[in-house]
Amino acid sequence: MAGNPDFDLFKLGDEHEELRAAIRSLSEKEIAPHAKAVDEESRFPQEALDALTASGFNAVHVPEEYGGQGADSVATCIVIEEVARVCGSSSLIPAVNKLGTMGLILNGSDELKKQVLPQLALGEAMASYALSEREAGSDAASMRTRAKADGDEWVLNGSKCWITNGGKSAWYTVMAVTEPDKRANGISAFMVHKDDPGFSVTGYEHKLGIKGSPTAELAFEDCRIPGDRVIGDPGSGFKTALETLDHTRPTIGAQAVGLAQGALDAAIDYTKDRKQFGKSISEFQGVQFMLADMAMKLEAARLMVYTSAARAERGEKNLGFISSAAKCFASDVAMEVTTDAVQLFGGAGYTTDFPVERMMRDAKITQIYEGTNQVQRMVMSRALLK
C-alpha cells in the first residue's frame, strides 16, 4: 500500500508540540531555578504554583465548561512530564489536581462540579485524593473511615494517610465506608473541604524524595459535610476510585518519564564535558552504551504512557492493563535511568551539586504511589487471565 504523506502515524499534533515548547520554556525559566532549594529546604514550590497558575498549567485537565482549558489526557501528561523534567515536587501540582478531581469529573453531579472545578481552574484551590489508611494501603477495601447520613448531611469519622499535597489543597476526594457489611460495594466517595467542621491535618511525613510536596495525614472527627457532596450514588465510591486510577496512573508514568528525561539530559551534557584519559568520557563505548540503553527505554516508556492516556481519553473500556503497565514500566525505567545517570556522573553524581541525585530520590516514589508496582503486576495479570 502506498504511503499517505498527509497521514503522520504516531505523531503528536502541532498543538501538543506547541504545548510542550511552552511548558518546557516556563519550567526552565520559572521552576528549575528553585528546584534545588525546594528539595533542600523541604518547602512547597510556591514559585512553581504561581508560574503554573499564571500560565493556566496548574489544572489543565479541567473541562472548558467549568472555566478550565479542557486539555486532553495526553496534553495533561505532557505538562506533568515537562515540569517533572526539572522538578519532581512541582510536577505533583498538575498531577494531583487531576487525581483529586478525576472521580468528580467522571461521576459527580453537575452542581458539585460547579462548586469545585472553577476554583481549580482559577488557581484559587488545589485538590487531593484521600484513599489510603495506615491499615488499608494496597488493600484499600479494608478502610475504616466511616460516613453516616444525618438528615441533610454526612458525618465522617476516621483518618487518611499518604495524602499528597495534603494541607495545601482545599478540596479532598475522600473514600469512606457507608455500608460496612458490603465491603467494597459499601464504600462511597465524598468531596470534603478544608474548612468543613471536624476536618484537620494531623501530621506530615519526612521523606526520601519529592520533599517539596507535603505528604499529610488527615483526620475526620464528626466531620460534617452537606449531603450533596457525595460523588455519584452511595456505595459506588470504590468503583469511582478504580476508575480514577485508570485515568491517573498514566500521569504518574508521565512524571516518571519527565524525571528520567531530566536525568538523561544532564548525563549527556556531563559526559560530553567531562574529560578523562585525555578525552571526553562520552567517547568511551561503555558510556555510549549506557546512554543508548537509557534513551531506548525512555522512548518506550513515553510511548506507553501516551498510548494509555489516549485510550483513556477515547473512553475505552478495560483500561486496567494498559494504565497499570504504563505506570509500572515508566516508573521502573525512571528508577533505572536516574540511577545510571548518577553512575555516569561518578562521585559528582552522589553530591547535591548536580540534580541527578535528587531525580533518583524523586523517581523512587513513582514505583510506590498510586499502587506499588507489585500491585500493578497483579492488576495486569488479572486483566490477562480474566
Residue numbers annotated as active site: 370
Contacts of 274 (CB under 8 A, 6+ apart): 280, 281, 282, 346
CB under 8 Å to 222, separation ≥6 — which residues?
A: 155, 156, 157, 197, 198
Are 302 and 337 in contact by the 8 Å Cβ rule? The answer is: no
Beta strand ranges found along the chain (DSSP E): 127-130, 146-150, 153-164, 171-177, 187-193, 199-204, 215-226, 230-231, 275-276, 279-280
Helix (H) or strand (E) holding 344: helix 320-345
Quick one: residue 339, left, alpha or beta (phi over 0 = left, psi -120 to 50 = alpha)? alpha
Q: How far apart are CA 106 and CA 31, in angstroms?
A: 31
Largest distance between two CA atoms of the chain:
79
Residue 142, Ramachandran bin (φ over 0: left; ψ between -120 and 50: alpha; else beta): alpha
Q: What is the DSSP string of 353-367?
A: TSTHHHHHHHHHHTT
Cα–Cα distance for residue pair 242/371, rounded to 1 Å: 11
Which of 101-135 are b and which e, b meaning 16 or more Cβ less than 10 Å from the residue's Cβ? bbbbbebbeeebbebbbbbbbebebbbbbbbbbee
Dist. CA 144–CA 177, nearest whole Å:
7
Over the range 253-263, which residues count as b (16 or more CB within 10 Å of their CB) and which as e?
bbbbbbbbbbb
Q: How far apart are alpha carbons 255 and 315 in whole angstroms?
A: 22
Cell 535528587 appears where?
358
Residues 6+ apart with CB under 8 A from 221: 157, 198, 200
Q: Which amino acid is at 234?
A: P
